[in-house]
């Protein structure tokens, strides 16, 4: 099934929103406006959007330290996210969480996570819940190529197979965990999902820089999992355009590596090319989206700057629902 024009425009809008959100963050962080540790998702947009465009708010996802893209793709409010990263009480988490801990259960976004590998078991629990509810909903754990070496990820995969839970393990292989190369740290030296396969799971592999490929692969994955056939894993080959964290000098990159990636592996460029060449969308329509998106991000930043700041009394709020 082809995507409708509206759906295509929506997908593009989502990808562009993630990109614009992050590039603006990159600038603001350089200016020193933003506190804390921030990891940019830039370059991987086609994965988050290609996965989440299949989901509704009752499907659940669990994210990572590099979570902005997943949050936006799943429907978190972009202004609320920006305010959160700015530390305002109007942020999605009231300024308590920041970049690494954005969540919005109302849209099925159960939480970003600062602990590598911690999300997968949580996603399996959410999948158990979905199974119990019997509405064909799924739960997705996003993980990196680094996270696939964490024991928790393996335990989660086995647990999902054993309980036949509708969990999907999406591995975004951007070939780096911090400053270390995938080929060094991942013992198999070829891929990640062969591990998932060894747990008895059905697996897929696809190019994560091509939205259409991600989207179509996920259609198959979701058909399998929603059909009650147990968990699945999929590995997307993708690229990270900025440093591991903001401030990373990226000395582990080869000469010209980043230039090549920007030229050849930019999922937004690739989307535009494919969509316009096939006459699905017109360049100026896409430019129109770009403008709207940039305006939204401007507004998000302006609102964030003006948003109320927390007070010392806020520290003790929301530890418990009720303690005594």
Alpha carbon distance 119, 91 (integer Å): 22
Token look-up 């995969």 returns: 157
155, with CB counted inside 10 A (0-12, 13-18, 19+), is: middle
Sole binder of ligand TPP in the list 77, 178, 220, 290 (CB under 6 A)? 178
**Closest CB to Mg ion among 104 and 235?**
235
Using CB under 6 A, which residues numbered 240 to 299 contact ligand TPP? Answer: 240, 244
Give the residue closest to ligand TPP by C-beta. Answer: 144
Sole binder of Mg ion in the list 22, 28, 145, 191 (CB under 5 A)? 145
Among the listed residues 57, 58, 61, 69, the one whose alpha carbon sits nearest the alpha carbon of residue 23 = 69
**Quick check: 114 binds ligand TPP (CB under 6 A)?**
yes
240 touches 270 (CB < 8 A): no
Q: Which does 66 bind (CB under 5 to 8 A by kind): ligand TPP, Mg ion, other proteins, none?
A: ligand TPP
**Quick check: 196 binds other proteins (CB under 8 A)?**
no
**Closest CB to other proteins among 138 and 289?**
138
CA dihedral 158, 160, 164, 169 (to 10 degrees): -110
Using CB under 8 A, which residues numbered 34 to 93 contact other proteins? Answer: 35-37, 60, 62, 87-88, 91-93
**Quick check: 65 binds ligand TPP (CB under 6 A)?**
yes
What token pair was written down for 29? 């962080």
**Closest CB to other proteins among 10 and 163?**
163
Long-range interactions of 315-324: CB distance < 8 A, separation 24+: 317/94, 318/94, 318/96
Using CB under 8 A, which residues numbered 187 to 216 contact a copy of itself? Answer: 187-189, 194-195, 197-201
Span of 45-53, 58-66, 124-132, 203-211 interacting with ligand TPP by CB under 6 A: 58-66
Helix 211-226 crosses helix 45-52 at what angle (to 10 degrees)?
40
Sole binder of other proteins in the list 50, 69, 111, 231 (CB under 8 A)? 111
Sole binder of other proteins in the list 181, 200, 228, 288 (CB under 8 A)? 181
**Quick check: 155 binds ligand TPP (CB under 6 A)?**
no
Alpha carbon distance 142, 173 (integer Å): 11
Binding mask 116-155 for a copy of itself (x = CB under 8 A): ---------------------------------xxxxxxx
Q: Bridge partners of 181?
A: 176
Q: Bridge partners of 6?
A: none
Backbone angles phi, psi at 273, to 5 degrees: -55, -50
**Quick check: 201 binds other proteins (CB under 8 A)?**
no
Using CB under 5 A, which residues numbered 40 to 59 contact Mg ion? Answer: none
Alpha carbon distance 102, 113 (integer Å): 8
61 touches 139 (CB < 8 A): yes
Sole binder of ligand TPP in the list 116, 141, 222, 289 (CB under 6 A)? 116
């Amino acid at each position: 099934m082809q995507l409708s024009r509206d759906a295509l425009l929506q997908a593009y809008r989502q990808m562009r929103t993630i990109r614009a959100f992050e590039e603006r963050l990159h600038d603001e962080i350089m200016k020193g406006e933003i506190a804390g540790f921030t990891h940019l998702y830039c370059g991987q947009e086609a994965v988050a959007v290609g996965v989440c465009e299949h989901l509704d708010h009752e499907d659940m996802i669990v994210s990572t330290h590099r979570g902005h893209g997943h949050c936006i793709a799943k429907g978190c409010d972009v202004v609320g996210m920006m305010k959160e990263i700015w530390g305002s009480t109007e942020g999605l988490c009231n300024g308590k969480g920041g970049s690494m801990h954005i969540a919005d259960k109302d849209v099925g976004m159960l939480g970003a996570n600062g602990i590598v590998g911690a999300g997968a078991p949580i996603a399996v629990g959410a999948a158990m819940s979905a199974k119990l509810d019997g509405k064909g909903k799924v739960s997705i754990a996003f993980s990196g190529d680094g996270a696939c070496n964490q024991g928790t990820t393996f335990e989660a995969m086995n647990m999902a197979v054993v309980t036949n839970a509708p969990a999907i393990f999406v591995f975004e292989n951007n070939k780096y965990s911090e400053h270390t190369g995938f080929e060094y740290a991942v013992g198999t030296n070829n891929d990640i999902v062969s591990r998932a396969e060894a747990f008895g799971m059905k697996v897929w592999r696809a190019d994560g820089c091509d939205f259409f490929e991600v989207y179509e692969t996920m259609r198959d994955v979701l058909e399998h999992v929603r059909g009650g056939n147990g968990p699945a894993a999929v590995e997307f080959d993708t690229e990270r355009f900025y440093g591991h964290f903001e401030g990373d000098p990226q000395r582990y990159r080869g000469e010209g590596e980043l230039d090549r990636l920007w030229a050849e592996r930019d999922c937004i460029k690739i989307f535009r090319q494919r969509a316009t060449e096939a006459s699905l969308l017109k360049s100026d329509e896409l430019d129109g989206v770009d403008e709207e998106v940039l305006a939204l991000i401007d507004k998000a930043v302006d609102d964030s700057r003006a948003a109320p700041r927390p007070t010392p009394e806020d520290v003790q709020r929301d530890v418990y629902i009720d303690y005594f």
